[in-house]
Amino acid sequence: MEVKKLGILSGVIFLVLGIICVLYGCLIYAVASGTKFFAVWYLIAAFFFWISFMTWGGHWGEVPGVLRVLLAVLISCGVLVLVIGNVYILTEFHDRGERNLDTIVVLGAQVRKTGPSRVLRSRLDTAAAYLKENPDTLCIVSGGQGPNEPCTEAEAMKKYLAGKGIPADRIIEENKSESTLENLEYSSRYLNREKDSIGIVTNNFHVFRSLRLAKKDGYRNVCGIAAPSNPLYLPNNMLRECLGIVKEVVCGNF
């Protein structure tokens, strides 16, 4: 009886987790993040619902032992990857950069008809504050134009910074890149990767990967400048970033 009660309790817990994931996926979809990553939360929810069904109904005994072991190994590896990835992300989470850098590179993000997205505004506000405190530092705004964007990210970024009081002659547009790796590679045409002191401005969850890609691309004197992010969307961003780190490792970019 106690085993049955434990199974029911576990089933309820996984059912609730699945419902939470569905609701969170709907939230991410509603904010129009510009990507389809919200669908991952529905996949996770489906997995939790399946675990709930198997546990609540006592069906695990029907699964061959070797498959149960394989599933346990896969889940353990997935959890381990997420833990390690988040630990690495948190090592650069609060980077504030160095004073009087030669150049800062602001990485692009979604631009809408109304202007930069909330994520991008956070990066730009952080960059504007740094540029005002360090008047000799130049700024490269980096980002091309996606199929759902009204203009290049670089154009929108420069306009936003100008509206914050940053002189246009301090802002250089890199308007061809479509990924973080391209942001860094194409921006390097406007600076000296080996001699210049460079700050990478991006959201806190994105600093670790950006710095590793920059160093892989030949940036010798580089640091991160972390912009804040909305805590409500942080689980989505951290999960996406962990998968991004895995992708970069598999592709040999680290």
The reply to whether 128 falls in a domain is yes
Let me know whether 182 and 57 are in one domain.
no
pTM: 0.88
The residues, any chain, with a CB within 8 Å of residue 241's CB and separated by 6 or more, are 85, 89, 205, 206, 208, 209
Domain that holds residue 35: 1-62
54 lies in the same domain as 107: no
Helix (H) or strand (E) holding 201, with range, is strand 197-203
Q: What is the tally of structural domains in the chain?
A: 2
Q: Report H helices in the chain.
A: 2-30, 39-56, 65-91, 118-133, 153-163, 180-187, 207-216, 234-251
- Report residue 206 as tokens: 């994105």
Q: What is the pLDDT of residue 2?
A: 60
Is residue 229 exposed (0-12), middle (13-18) or buried (19+ Cβ within 10 Å)?
A: buried
Residues 115 and 241 in one domain: yes
Final residue of a structural domain among 38, 62, 86: 62
- For residues 126 and 180, membership in a common domain is answered with yes
- Domain shared by 119 and 245, yes or no: yes
Same domain assignment for residues 133 and 245: yes
Out of 62, 89, 112, a domain closes at 62
Does some domain include residue 44? yes
Residue-level pLDDT at 32: 63
| Residue 147, pLDDT score | 87
Q: From first to last of its 254 residues, what are the pLDDT tens digits of the chain?
A: 465 666 678 889 999 999 999 999 999 988 766 678 999 999 999 999 999 998 887 787 788 889 889 999 999 999 999 999 999 999 999 999 999 999 999 999 999 999 999 999 999 999 999 999 999 999 999 999 988 899 999 999 999 999 999 999 999 999 999 999 999 999 999 999 999 999 999 999 999 999 999 999 999 999 999 999 999 999 999 999 999 999 999 988 87
Q: Which residues fall within 8 angstroms of residue 27, CB to CB, at 6 or more apart?
A: 232
